[in-house]
Amino acid sequence: MKSLFWKIYLLFVGVNFLTVFFLSFQFSFSFTRFFIALIPSFFIGFFLSHYFSKKITSLNISIKNLSQKMENEHDALTEEKNRLATILNGMMEGVLVTDAKGVITLVNLSFQNMMGVKNCLGKTIIECIRNNEIHSIITQVLSEKKSYEGTFSFIIATLELHCIVHSAPLIANGLSLGSVTVFSDTTQIRKLENIRQDFVANVSHELRTPLTSIIGYAETIRDGEMTDKETTLRFIQKIEKNAIQLKDLVNDILFLSQMDSKTLHLNIQILNLKNLATELLQDFQSRVNEKKINLSLDFKDDLMVKADERILRQIMTNLLDNAIKYTPLSGEIKWMASQQKDQICIAVKDTGIGILKEDQARIFERFYRVDKSRSREVGGTGLGLAIVKNLVQFHGGSVSVQSEVGFGSTLSFTLPL
């Protein structure tokens, strides 16, 4: 019984052993065959991975180079665009570019300032500046494909603008792509030309008046029509007076020319204003006494100013001379100076005829006279106050006037400390 048990046990163990061995053999064989089958795939995958890795690396480099090239080209285009914008906005002339339909594609800063407009891109000429003449010019250039050059004037806000216009078509392969129009502002040149013409006319008139008197008195004396020495002397005095007037006019013109050409140089010194005013007053004392004018000085003893003495004398002389001319007999003139913060204010107040409000802004213009008949009666070149204004501004100061008709005027100027 016991031996039978062991036989059955050994048989069971043997069967299990054989089964495990067989299964292990089968699994090992299958695994080995699977591994052997994987070996070619591994080497093929390794080869393909290495091959495509090189290709991908090369592709990455190409893409990176292309990206860098595109970035460089973009930077170059941006730089070129900025350079063009800088050039256009730095031009004094206004530039207007349109497409073939007349729609604005580009304007520079000068054009916008000249025309007083903004946000013109994408608009037509009429929509942007509302000017039929400019619209007609550009329409003509676009339709006829011919350049245009001309001058025209128009009103912007309340100002009159004068321009020279150059307009040309943009053509490629016979097709019109648009137009480029350049506006040259000649308003200031026109204004200066008018001033020049007025100046020449005024100088001619101012020279003709005393010359005519001199010639008339001289011819009378030459023809021997004078019978007494007293009348002859009076005529000679008239000739002398007109000759002095001519000399003063020429000197004033030369002085203004010197200032306009910037050849006048300042010799700045520290000056005592009261001492200078007292000296100048002596030169006018006979005229003051003759008209019985009460002239008073209101200057502090220690009031000092930095200025060119010769030019300051000229300024104060012209102002005082003007006050004496237009102050009636027994009138009053007050000459004052004071310090106001960082500047010195010098004023001449008279009890003369006064100046109309509409004339006050123009009395410092060259040859401007409030009352021409009275001005010629009292003498003068018509340039005295213009010289005052120019000389004061040359010193960095300013001039002003306060006046009421029938109650006199106060002409004043300031100089920086």
**3-state SS record for the chain:** CHHHHHHHHHHHHHHHHHHHHHHHHHHHHHHHHHHHHHHHHHHHHHHHHHHHHHHHHHHHHHHHHHHHHHHHHHHHHHHHHHHHHHHHHHCCCEEEEEECCCEEEEECHHHHHHHCCCCCCCCEHHHHHCCHHHHHHHHHHHHHCCCEEEEEEEEECCEEEEEEEEEEEEEECCEEEEEEEEEEECHHHHHHHHHHHHHHHHHHHHHHHHHHHHHHHHHHHHCCCCCCHHHHHHHHHHHHHHHHHHHHHHHHHHHHHHHHCCCCCCCEEEEEHHHHHHHHHHHHHHHHHHCCCEEEEECCCCCEEEEEHHHHHHHHHHHHHHHHHHCCCCCEEEEEEEEECCEEEEEEEECCCCCCHHHHCCCCCCCCCCCHHHHHHHCCCCCHHHHHHHHHHHCCCEEEEEEECCCEEEEEEEEEC
Based on the fold, state whether residues 199 and 172 are members of the same structural domain. Answer: no
d(C-alpha 192, C-alpha 262), whole Å: 17
d(C-alpha 54, C-alpha 230), whole Å: 124
Residue 189: predicted pLDDT? 84
Contact between 166 and 149 (Cβ < 8 Å) = yes
The CA–CA distances, whole Å, from 175 to 95, 105, 138, 343 equal: 22, 18, 16, 66
Based on the fold, state whether residues 328 and 375 are members of the same structural domain. Answer: yes
Residue 380: predicted pLDDT? 57
CATH number at residue 174: 3.30.450.20
Based on the fold, state whether residues 196 and 282 are members of the same structural domain. Answer: no
User: For residue 386, is it within any domain?
Assistant: yes
User: For residue 363, is it within any domain?
Assistant: yes
Give per-residue pLDDT as tens, 345-378.
999 999 988 888 888 888 888 777 666 555 555 5
Which residues is 332 bridged to in the sheet?
294
CATH number at residue 284: 3.30.565.10
Give per-residue pLDDT as tens, 372-416.
555 555 555 677 888 889 889 888 899 999 998 888 899 999 998
User: For residue 52, is it within any domain?
Assistant: no
| Last residue of one domain, picked from the residues 158, 186, 214 | 186
User: For residue 41, is it within any domain?
Assistant: no
For residue 123, the enclosing domain spans: 91-186
Based on the fold, state whether residues 286 and 411 are members of the same structural domain. Answer: yes
Give per-residue pLDDT as tens, 86-101.
777 777 888 889 998 8
Residue 370: predicted pLDDT? 66
Based on the fold, state whether residues 273 and 411 are members of the same structural domain. Answer: yes
Based on the fold, state whether residues 157 and 208 are members of the same structural domain. Answer: no
Residue 56: predicted pLDDT? 64
Based on the fold, state whether residues 336 and 410 are members of the same structural domain. Answer: yes
Which residues is 140 bridged to in the sheet?
none
d(C-alpha 380, C-alpha 376), whole Å: 7
User: For residue 281, is it within any domain?
Assistant: yes
Handedness of CA 322, 346, 353, 355 (dihedral sign): positive
Q: Which residues contact 37 (CB under 8 A, 6 or more apart)?
A: none
Based on the fold, state whether residues 334 and 273 are members of the same structural domain. Answer: yes
Based on the fold, state whether residues 320 and 402 are members of the same structural domain. Answer: yes
Q: Which residues contact 38 (CB under 8 A, 6 or more apart)?
A: none
Residue 59: predicted pLDDT? 63
User: For residue 86, is it within any domain?
Assistant: no
Based on the fold, state whether residues 135 and 194 are members of the same structural domain. Answer: no
Low-confidence ranges of the chain (pLDDT < 70): 1-57, 59, 85, 157, 225-227, 369-381
Residue 175: predicted pLDDT? 81
User: For residue 17, is it within any domain?
Assistant: no
| Last residue of one domain, picked from the residues 148, 165, 186 | 186
Handedness of CA 27, 30, 33, 34 (dihedral sign): negative
Based on the fold, state whether residues 294 and 388 are members of the same structural domain. Answer: yes
| Last residue of one domain, picked from the residues 186, 212, 235 | 186
Number of domains making up the chain: 3
Based on the fold, state whether residues 155 and 200 are members of the same structural domain. Answer: no
User: For residue 59, is it within any domain?
Assistant: no
Residue 233: predicted pLDDT? 84
CATH number at residue 194: 1.10.287.130
